[in-house]
């Protein structure tokens, strides 16, 4: 831990005590990097061979690659066949593997991720509902609103007002 934190600590201290150009960008980036490094180190040392669930999903190159693709482009009209092809698996083999590790089918996970992204946008951004729908992979506000209401139990506008 000291080996990792040693070089970063002076930057964090200087950033905390002195106003520096780009301090607001540098300190969070350093902390993010440190957190990722610590999580990766923990996973490799403790979890790699015996973890299940998310840890196992992220450790599986096929499922991790699909998750990365879904997170990078949630608005894309993904098919299970395309996601399986990313890892060199058939549609059925990929769907079984993904569901076993993630706990949801690939398309159910995609819907959940889209709604999670939409919820975050509604809470933190004032862009129009149409833009949130498009960014979430829905071509119409109506379809988006129905899917959102199924996930959150309220209309997107209500959710935004309550956030």
What band does 16 get if pLDDT is binned at 50, 70 and 90? low
Percent of the chain with pLDDT over 90: 60
**What angle in degrees, to the nearest 10, is found between the helix axes of 2-17 and 23-42?**
160
The larger pLDDT score, comparing residue 152 to residue 5, is at 152
In terms of Cβ atoms closer than 10 Å to its own Cβ (0-12, 13-18, 19+), residue 75 is: middle
Q: What is the pLDDT of residue 112?
A: 94
Instruction: Name the residue among 11, 53, 1 with its Cα closest to residue 31.
Output: 11
pLDDT at 40: 74
Residue of higher predicted confidence among 56 and 155: 155
pLDDT confidence of residue 51: 62
Residue 65 and residue 45 in contact, taking contact as beta carbons nearer than 8 Å: no
Domains in the chain with CATH codes: 1-50 (no CATH), 108-162 (1.10.10.60)
Q: What confidence tens digit (pLDDT) does each residue in 68-78 have? A: 999 999 999 99
DSSP H/E element including 16? helix 2-17
Question: Dihedral of CA 35/102/79/77: which sign?
Answer: negative
Confidence of residue 135 (pLDDT cuts 50, 70, 90): very high
Residue-wise pLDDT for 77-118, tens only, equals 999 999 999 999 999 999 999 999 999 999 999 999 999 999
Least confident of 23-27, 34-38, 65-69, 97-101: 23-27
pTM: 0.67
Between 40-44, 56-60, 157-161, the lowest mean confidence (pLDDT) is in 40-44
Statement: residue 22 has pLDDT above 70:
no
Average pLDDT over residues 39-45: 71
């Amino acid at each position: 831990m000291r080996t990792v934190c040693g070089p970063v600590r002076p930057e964090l201290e200087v950033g905390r005590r002195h106003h520096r150009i780009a301090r607001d960008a540098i300190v969070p980036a350093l902390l993010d990097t440190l957190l990722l490094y610590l999580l990766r180190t923990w996973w490799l040392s403790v979890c790699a061979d015996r973890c299940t669930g998310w840890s196992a999903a992220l450790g599986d190159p096929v499922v991790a690659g699909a998750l990365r693709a879904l997170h990078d482009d949630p608005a894309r009209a993904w098919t299970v066949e395309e996601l399986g092809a990313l890892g060199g698996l058939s549609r059925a083999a990929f769907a079984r593997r993904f569901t076993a590790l993630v706990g949801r089918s690939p398309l159910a996970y995609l819907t959940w991720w889209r709604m999670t992204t939409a919820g975050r946008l509604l809470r933190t951004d004032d862009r129009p509902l149409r833009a949130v729908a498009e960014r979430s992979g829905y071509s119409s506000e109506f379809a988006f609103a129905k899917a959102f209401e199924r996930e959150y139990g309220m209309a997107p506008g209500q959710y935004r007002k309550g956030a």
